[in-house]
Amino acid sequence: MQNLVLLGVCFLAGALLRRMGRMPEETPAVLNGFIIHVSLPALILLYFHDIELSAEVAVMAAMPWIHFGIAAGFFLLAGKLFGFSRQTIGALILTGGLGNTSFVGLPMIEAFYGKEALVYGIAVDQLGSFMVLSTAGLFTAGLYSGEKSSFAGIARTIAAFPPFLAMVAAVLFNSCDYPEWLEILLSRLGDTLAPVALLSVGFQFLPGDLRGNFRELALGLSFKLLLAPFIIALLYTGVFGLHGLPVRITLFEAAMPPMITAGIIASARGINPPLASLMVSLGIPLSFITLFFWWYVLGAV
């Protein structure tokens, strides 16, 4: 509950600071740069380091990859049907295909399923969501940013992406124990991600943007909060025949709202920033309602 209150307070603070003119227009770019270069790498180094690989973990980690693939196909088709611009399609793929499996997902898992279930959420988040973000997500951002980039250029961008480098470092040092001072340092730096990210999202939130993005926003959030979790639940339980708490947590994570960092990357690369910001800023409070529904439905899994 404390984490959810923190998200709300920081979002409102960002919106108020913009309305009052207390911070410059360039504020989101600065905050987003801090998140990508400091907060997120610290968090990955801290949590990815301790994850043990297994067949069960692989099944859980596969969900975000499946989710992103379904989102790409869905929004490419929707873009052709409705005549969406390339930037709109890119923004919807990024925010509709990547879930907030960490800063909303983990608090929600603890609230609905207890602390013992957090280990499954961390596996989905670190081995799934962050890896998709650092590879396929960043590749998508390069394709839809409007910049002229070759495949090799996009690959170099991915290889130089700080969260990706942190993930590689965490794997390389998996067998080494971190000293206590380093764990404390990484934890303190990682703790800045949620408040700084929501401050940035709140600062970029402009209710007037709803007028020109309502159809796209409704489609994106309907897919992310309802349709995609339904498809993945059918796949895992109906096709694969998987059941139990790890699967339940994996499907619960599939129902999380759009990932804050995905919205930040879309905004930073100029991929329909108003729509990307709205997907995140409205998706989080709406998910507080839809997650109750999914918790009830998944009780039978």
Residue 237: the pLDDT is 94
Residue 154: the pLDDT is 66
> Domain map of the chain by residue range?
2-11+26-298
Residue 147: the pLDDT is 65
Residue 117: the pLDDT is 83
Residue 175: the pLDDT is 78
Does the predicted TM-score (pTM) go above 0.85? no
| Residues in the chain, pLDDT under 70 | 1-4, 147-151, 154, 208-209, 300-301
Q: Which helix (H) or strand (E) holds 56?
A: helix 55-82
Residue 3: the pLDDT is 64
How far is 207 from 273, CA to CA, in rounded Å?
A: 13
Domain 2-11+26-298 architecture: Up-down Bundle (1.20)
Q: How many CA atoms lie within 13 A of 180 on its CB side?
A: 0
Residue 1: the pLDDT is 62
Residue 126: the pLDDT is 77
How far is 98 from 231, CA to CA, in rounded Å?
A: 15
How far is 130 from 123, CA to CA, in rounded Å?
A: 10
Q: What are the b/e assignments for 110-143, b being 16+ CB within 10 Å?
A: bebbeeebbbbbbbbbbbbbbbbbbbbbbbbbbb
What Cα–Cα distance (Å) separates residue 259 from each residue in 7, 254, 289?
A: 13, 11, 17
Residue 149: the pLDDT is 59
How far is 291 from 296, CA to CA, in rounded Å?
A: 9
Residue 65: the pLDDT is 96
Residue 94: the pLDDT is 97
- If DSSP states are collapsed to H, E and C, what string results for 14-46? HHHHHHHCCCCCCHHHHHHHHHHHHHHHHHHHH
